[in-house]
Amino acid sequence: MSRERVLTDVQWERVAPLMPSSDGVKSRPFRDHRQVVEGVIYRFRTGLAWRDLPPAFGPWQTVWKRHHRFATDGTWDKIHARLLAEADAADDIDWMVSVDSTITRAHQHATNTTRVEQPAGDSRAARSARAASRVAPTGGLNRVTRTCGTSPPITRSDAPAGVCRPRSTSLSTAVAVRW
């Protein structure tokens, strides 16, 4: 058995009658179904990208398009249902169900829900800059401690308590430093 041959002749004989025919279609006839189906199986078995499919299965675009066509027209579902029915009739399937109550936590960005957008300029840096601009200078140390992005430097005397922490306590190193 070669590396690219993934279905035996017996397996293919069970699947071949369920493949759609290109008879009566005005376009070009289908490429060999077996080659394409084996390409799809090989791709999912190895986990490689469509573009990395070996040339023995034909052009990767053809394999992808046929897989997509079979997924949308229900060919894969028919094959699955037929093989499942045959295996069940031969008593090859054990229908015992195992239920697991394990809880899996997902990252907060793993959901598919949308969230309400925040109004523009409502970031922490924007709030800090607005708060710093509302406070009148009260005197004291005028060392530059932080700059927020492209905003002007915030000095200790301009910033409210807790907004900025000093980067330096000596006058020689008190310069505008981006965080």
Query: What's the pTM value of the predicted model, to 2 decimals?
Result: 0.51
Give the separation between CA 66 and CA 59, rounded to whole angstroms: 11
Could you read off the pLDDT of 55-74 as tens digits, one per residue? 889 899 999 999 999 999 99
Count other C-beta atoms under 10 Å from residue 62's C-beta. 16
| pLDDT recorded at residue 179 | 47
- The label of the residue with tokens 């190193």 reads 173
DSSP classification of residue 178: B
Residues contacting 143, CB < 8 A, separation 6+: 155, 156, 166, 168, 171, 174
3-47 confidence digits (pLDDT tens)? 667 888 899 999 988 888 777 667 777 778 899 999 999 999 999
Predicted confidence at residue 19, as pLDDT, reads 87
CA-atom Rg of the chain in angstroms: 33
Is the model's pLDDT at 142 over the cut of 50? no
Which three-class secondary structure state does DSSP give residue 132?
A: helix
Secondary-structure breakdown of the chain: helix, strand, coil percentages, each rounded to the nearest 5: 40, 5, 55
Residues 6+ apart with CB under 8 A from 34: 7, 12, 16
pLDDT tens across 70-116, in order?
A: 999 999 999 999 999 999 899 888 878 777 777 777 777 776 666 65
**What pLDDT is recorded for position 147?**
47
